[in-house]
Amino acid sequence: MRRDLCDGVGIARLLNATLVLPKFEVAAYWNESSGFADVFDVDYFIGQMNGYVKVAKELPPELASKEPYHVDCSKRKGQFDYIESVLPSLLEHHYISITPAMSQRRDRYPQYAKAALCQVCYNGLRLAKPVEKKARELLEAIPKPFLSLHLRFEPDMVAYSQCEYKGLSPTSLEAIEETRGDRKPWTGELAEIWRKRGKCPLTPRETALIFQALHIPTNTNIYLAAGDGLMELEGFTSVYTNVVTKSSFLTSDDFSSMHGNTKAALDYYVSINSDYYVATFFGNMDKMVAAMRAFNGKQRTLFLSRRAFAEFTYKGLEGKELNQALWKTHRDDFAMGRGSALSDCFCEFKL
């Protein structure tokens, strides 16, 4: 959501358009519906956008009853596509909605659009006061110093990756099959190629193995930034025992009453303020967390290499030899304290 909001502001600035307060379509992720104000501070957002993009809380009366003209921006790149292809639709219909572009070339934005995009990414989004209060309480309760681990091994993610794993419990295998649908796992040589490309999520057990190769003490305080349904977690917690989650500190009433995106916001807040951040995948949250941590001078950020782990295990490396290979792969990023993906973050300058 944060990524799409950043893109939306950048596009609005490109088109010199007014941005209507965004609505979230989150049902696809959490089977729920919630608004911008449930997560973010609306007035703060509008104030921070002043001078960059005009933001309207609601549509004017003459447009309120109309459906927006939808423009698919998923394949559009750079300012010229938007100016030449999207602006005519905006001028004709006066009210459009857009599908966020997944491969947006922000480096091609003119400086004024980059400034708007960076302003919202780094300064424009503050959690709504009740959510921020709960996030602060959570952060204060976690034993210090601590490492925030974004571990991704949920049934839908594994099914989507089309990867097959040996040694999973019957419960995990059943959950994966229930969500797999038409996405059958690769087999034979194709499975090996796919895994060597780094397409397969690390299991919790594999994550613990890499942690040990990096000499991360097993008594490290670890906050697990993860959603519901994480599988095979005992493969990690049997080695690293000081692991806490949101539910460790929130009351059952607080936890059950929260939207899924509110829970994700708590994980995001804790992760950008943690002493260390480690991610087993390179998803949208990881990119945004790494960018914000770099912006705030917290560069102890590391992305574990799925590709390297697959290559080493296919070569038959194990034990001390595998540990040494994993250490050499991650050594520079781990020692220097910054993730290799920081150069891919949304903005390369600080306002």
Residue 114's pLDDT is what? 87
Residue 29's pLDDT is what? 46
Say which CATH architecture domain 130-153+201-336 belongs to: 3-Layer(aba) Sandwich (3.40)
> Contact at 8 Å (CB) between 330 and 210?
yes
> Contact at 8 Å (CB) between 131 and 259?
no
> Contact at 8 Å (CB) between 329 and 307?
no
Residue 344's pLDDT is what? 41
Where do we find the tokens 């989150």? 26
Q: Which structure tokens are listed for 344?
A: 């891919």
Whether residue 145 has a cis bond before it, omega within 30° of 0: yes
> Contact at 8 Å (CB) between 34 and 26?
yes
Residue 350's pLDDT is what? 46
Residue 32's pLDDT is what? 56
Which residues have a Cβ under 8 Å from the Cβ of 341 and sit 6 or more positions away? 282, 286, 287, 290, 303
> Contact at 8 Å (CB) between 161 and 200?
yes
- What's the one-letter identity of residue 325? A
The β-bridge relationship of strands 222-224 and 243-244 is parallel
Residue 346's pLDDT is what? 46
d(CA 233, CA 168): 11
- Max Cα-Cα span within the chain: 70
Domain(s) labelled CATH 3.40.50 in the chain stretch across 130-153+201-336
Residue 84's pLDDT is what? 84
- What's the one-letter identity of residue 153? F
Helix (H/G/I), strand (E/B), else coil: 23: strand
Taking each continuous run of H as one helix and of E as one strand, the counts in the chain are: 19, 9
Q: Which structure tokens are listed for 340?
A: 């290799």
Q: Residue 46 burial by CB count (10 A; 0-12/13-18/19+): exposed, middle or buried? A: middle
What tens-digit pLDDT sequence spans the chain (351 residues)?
A: 888 888 889 999 999 999 998 877 655 444 455 678 889 999 999 999 999 999 999 998 888 889 999 988 777 666 667 888 889 999 999 999 987 666 666 777 888 998 998 899 899 999 999 999 999 999 999 999 999 999 999 999 999 999 999 999 999 999 999 999 888 999 999 999 999 999 999 999 999 999 999 999 999 999 999 877 899 999 999 999 999 999 899 887 887 778 788 889 999 999 999 999 999 998 888 988 988 998 888 878 999 999 999 999 999 999 999 999 999 999 888 766 655 444 444 444 444
Select from 34, 19, 33, 25 the least CA-distant residue to 96.
19
pTM: 0.89
d(CA 39, CA 261): 8
- The beta-carbon contacts of 180-183 under 8 Å, at least 24 apart in sequence, are 183/159
Which residues have a Cβ under 8 Å from the Cβ of 189 and sit 6 or more positions away? none
Residue 20's pLDDT is what? 93
Residue 340's pLDDT is what? 47
- What's the one-letter identity of residue 102? M
